[in-house]
């Protein structure tokens, strides 16, 4: 795992856009997490449901390649509206990613599609009614996705993205059925600020 992260960081530094070519973007987003699967105790059987996702990302993007940091939170990932065994259950992700975008010159006045992928950490937290099957675990994760950004002005635009998160390397502990695993899809819409 450390080797993967080291390789990723090396690649990110090597491929990071030169300052003169780069544009910076900040993208606060909202959307939904869905189709989740987990081996953590999921007492409300809610991981597979759709849940509100909030977060933000920061991006430095050159003509083709960029680097991105993404922070997301699904505050009710383990909660279901019609069940009552989970008092609180959230998933938080923090990832660093490489972005491969369509050349800017080709998409200056239209949507600019991109692919994004990288790795980081995912933290799952569950508090149940009896407080006997609590979960608090941080796992390594990979994320892969694709999206498109369209700027309405020099500074402001909109971004749509679909991204898949999947934990890797979870151990068997006393808060899951088998090795700890978590995965889900996230679809978001973001405001994009460029400067």
Toward another protein, which CB reaches closer, 90 or 175?
175
**Shortest distance, position 121 Cβ to another protein, whole Å:** 23
**CA–CA distance from 79 to each of 41, 44, 87, 97, 193 (Å)?**
12, 6, 7, 29, 32
Is the Cβ–Cβ distance between 53 and 21 less than 8 Å?
A: no
Q: Which stretch binds another protein (CB under 8 A): 4-12, 64-72, 131-139, 156-164?
A: 131-139
Instruction: Kindly tell me which of 92 and 183 has the beta carbon lying closer to another protein.
Output: 183
- Which run of H or E residues covers position 22? none
Binding another protein by CB under 8 A: which of 18, 154, 171, 178? 178
Distance CA 1, CA 3 (A): 5
How many chain residues are in contact with another protein, going by CB under 8 A?
18
Contact assessment for residue 134 and residue 126, using Cβ atoms and an 8 Å cutoff: yes
Could you tell me the smallest distance in angstroms from the CB atom of residue 136 to another protein? 15
First to last CA, the chain: 34
Selected range binding another protein among 6-14, 97-105, 128-136, 161-169, rule: CB under 8 A: 128-136
Q: How far is the CB of 149 from another protein (least distance, A)?
A: 35
- Per CB under 8 A, 61 contacts another protein: no
What does 44-87 look like in DSSP terms, one character per residue?
T--TTS-EEEEEEEEEEE-SSEEEEEEEEEETTTT--TT--SEE
Question: In Å, how far are 16, 125, 160 from 56, measured between CA atoms?
Answer: 20, 20, 13
Span 17-56, contacts to another protein by CB under 8 A: 41-45
Calpha distance 25→68 (Å, rounded): 9
Q: Which of 130, 153, 154, 171 binds another protein (CB under 8 A)?
A: 130
- In this chain, which of 85, 91, 99, 122 binds another protein, going by CB under 8 A? 85
Question: Which C-beta is closer to another protein: that of 164 or that of 193?
Answer: 164
The residues that touch another protein, with contacts defined as CB under 8 A, are: 41-45, 83-85, 129-133, 172, 174, 176-178
């Amino acid at each position: 795992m450390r080797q993967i992260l080291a390789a990723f960081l090396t690649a990110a530094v090597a491929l990071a856009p030169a300052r003169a070519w780069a544009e910076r973007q900040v993208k606060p987003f909202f959307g939904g997490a869905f189709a989740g699967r987990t081996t953590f105790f999921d007492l409300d059987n809610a991981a597979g449901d759709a849940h509100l996702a909030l977060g933000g990302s920061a991006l430095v993007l050159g003509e083709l390649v960029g680097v991105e940091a993404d922070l997301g939170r699904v505050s009710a990932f383990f909660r279901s509206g019609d069940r009552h065994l989970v008092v609180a259950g959230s998933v938080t992700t923090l990832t660093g990613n490489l972005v491969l975008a369509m050349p800017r010159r080709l998409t200056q006045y239209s949507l600019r599609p991109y692919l994004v992928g990288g790795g980081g950490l995912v933290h799952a937290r569950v508090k149940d009614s009896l407080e006997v099957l609590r979960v608090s675990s941080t796992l390594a994760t990979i994320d892969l996705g694709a999206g498109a950004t369209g700027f309405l002005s020099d500074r402001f635009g909109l971004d749509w993205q679909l991204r898949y998160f999947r934990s890797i390397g979870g151990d068997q502990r006393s808060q899951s059925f088998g090795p700890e695993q978590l995965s889900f899809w996230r679809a978001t819409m973001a405001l994009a600020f460029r400067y």
